[in-house]
Amino acid sequence: MKTELLREYARLAVVTGVNLQKGQKLVIRAGVDAAPFVRLLTDEAYAVGARDVIVHWSDEKITRARYLYADDDLFDSAFPWQAMMFDLLSGEGAAFLSVSSSDPAAFEGVDPDRIRRFSVAYGKANEKFYARLMASRIPWSIVAIPNEAWAKKVFPGKPTDEAVELLWNAIFDTVRIREGGDAVAEWTAHSDRLMRQARKLNDCNFRYLRYENALGTRLTVELPEGYLFAGGSEKDERGIDFIANMPTEEIFTAPKRDGVNGVVYSSKPLVLNGNLVEGISLTLTDGRITDVHADRGEEYLKAEIDVDEGAHYLGEVALVPYHSPISESGILFYDTLFDENASCHFAFGEAYPTCIKGGADLSKDELLARGINAESNTHVDFMVGTSDLSIVGVTRDGREVPVFVNGDFAI
Ligand code: ZN
Ligand code: ZN
């Protein structure tokens, strides 16, 4: 991998991703195998005037061993010292950058109930921290780098080195990094495009979106009054732009919590907590998921929906054209950061407060009263877009407007 491209990727994550400001602290969360890239991120952070760079390391193999062998009662509590660290640093306004690099089969064979209980405990312990992230009070971003297991899943049959190289190239394409290019400038233009598309959807003032495709999806999604589609960059509490996911191709909002009805089928596999889930169908009645099916990994999907009551409701509606760059690459990444940006998707679990006018300043109760799913310890995206997806918008005065025709924007 060429060093200049890696440096540019690190610069992009620091300058455009979290948009680190002079005197601000940066927290990097990364796996130990990502150390060489984390060192580059650290250099870039100090180059723009970071006050301090704090790295929180993890390791999936150690986490797996813990899930398999630790005492059972351990999974009802989460690391309080870590929660204190994230709470203190996020309270000080630090920026949080995650370097994702997961083995899609990391937790195969782990008891789904241990994962569920730990997820509940972790969410509760980190409630204040997550609330700051979800409401965009502090800048945060996620970028990804390859690992061998992941690369071999994406490019089966290739020798390991070649698979890793191919995955690097695929990731660089998705984040607009190429030799002789200017990724930071390209991202500004890209973000503006997404924001323009979001504004168009906001101006329509839809009451419902009606989804239909040949997979069998027939879903009516009500939108709350004052819904806001967002896309591209967002602003933190101080008004500084940041980009939460790199890549990003979506515009998204929150559905009305009790206003989703019908059946929805997934169109891509989902890697959920280190396990593959395929062939999902969900039935929703007055917003609540009343039936869950998956051809593979159903027990992991059900465990995640059982995390809490809020996980039984949708928290995100996201639109991504079938003919958009990551989708057109034809690569199935087995990683939601990429696959959700190749496909229309929904998330079950907590909604982003910023998806409703004035939402960042509302309490959870006020958000619930405004109709969005404000209370859950999880948020899981799953992909539903297809080349024949039709979405019809119904305005508050009853007009029908084609939003998606044959998988692409018609608006
Ligand atoms: Zn999304
Ligand atoms: Zn999401």
Say which residues have a Cβ less than 8 Å from residue 61's Cβ, sequence separation at least 6.
Answer: none
Environment of ion ligand 1 (residues, CB < 5 A): 250, 252, 318, 340, 381
Dihedrals phi, psi of 150, to nearest 5 degrees: -65, -45
Q: Considering only CA atoms, which of 332, 333, 372 is closest in space to residue 134?
A: 372
Cα 399 to averaged position of ligand 1 atoms, centre (Å): 27
Say which residues have a Cβ less than 8 Å from residue 244's Cβ, sequence separation at least 6.
Answer: 136, 140, 141, 142, 234
Per-residue pLDDT tens digits for 317-372: 999 999 999 999 999 999 999 999 999 999 999 999 999 999 989 999 999 999 99
Would you tell me how many other CB atoms lie within 10 Å of the CB of residue 289?
A: 18
Residue 409 pLDDT greater than 70, yes or no: yes
301: left (phi over 0), alpha (psi -120 to 50) or beta: alpha
Would you tell me how many other CB atoms lie within 10 Å of the CB of residue 70?
A: 11
Q: Buried (b) or exposed (e) across 23-60, using 16+ Cβ within 10 A? A: ebbbbbbbbebbeebbebbbebbeeeebeebebeeeeb
pTM: 0.95
Bridge-based pairing state of the strands 206-212 and 234-235: unpaired
> Which residues share a beta bridge with 82?
none
pLDDT above 90 coverage of the chain, percent: 99
Q: Which domains does the chain have, with CATH numbers?
A: 3-174 (3.40.1830.10), 203-233+246-409 (no CATH)
Q: Considering only CA atoms, which of 383, 210, 392 is closest in space to residue 282?
A: 383
Cα 133 to averaged position of ligand 1 atoms, centre (Å): 15
Bridge-based pairing state of the strands 25-31 and 95-100: parallel
Residue 2 pLDDT greater than 90, yes or no: no
Bridge-based pairing state of the strands 140-144 and 95-100: parallel
Structural tokens at position 276: 């593959």
Distance from C-alpha of 60 to C-alpha of 363, rounded to nearest angstrom: 35
Alpha helices by DSSP H, listed for 263-386, are: 298-305, 325-328, 336-339, 364-369
Residue 373 pLDDT greater than 70, yes or no: yes
Distance from C-alpha of 250 to C-alpha of 385, rounded to nearest angstrom: 12
Q: Considering only CA atoms, which of 159, 157, 53 is closest in space to residue 99?
A: 53
Q: Which ligand is nearest to the CA of 248?
A: 1
Structural tokens at position 280: 């999902």
pLDDT classification of 1: cutoffs 50, 70, 90: low
Would you tell me how many other CB atoms lie within 10 Å of the CB of residue 381?
A: 23
* pLDDT of the residue at 55: 98
* pLDDT of the residue at 289: 98
Cα 157 to averaged position of ligand 1 atoms, centre (Å): 31
Cα 354 to averaged position of ligand 1 atoms, centre (Å): 13
Cα 326 to averaged position of ligand 1 atoms, centre (Å): 14
Cα 158 to averaged position of ligand 2 atoms, centre (Å): 31
DSSP 113: H
Cα 1 to averaged position of ligand 2 atoms, centre (Å): 30
Per-residue pLDDT tens digits for 114-164: 999 999 999 999 999 999 999 999 999 999 999 999 999 999 999 999 999
Q: Which ligand is nearest to the CA of 247?
A: 1
**What kind and span of H or E run contains 114?**
helix 112-125
Residue 258 pLDDT greater than 80, yes or no: yes
Per-residue pLDDT tens digits for 377-394: 999 999 999 999 999 999
Structural tokens at position 129: 């921290």
Cis, peptide link before residue 247, omega less than 30° from 0: yes
Cα 186 to averaged position of ligand 1 atoms, centre (Å): 21
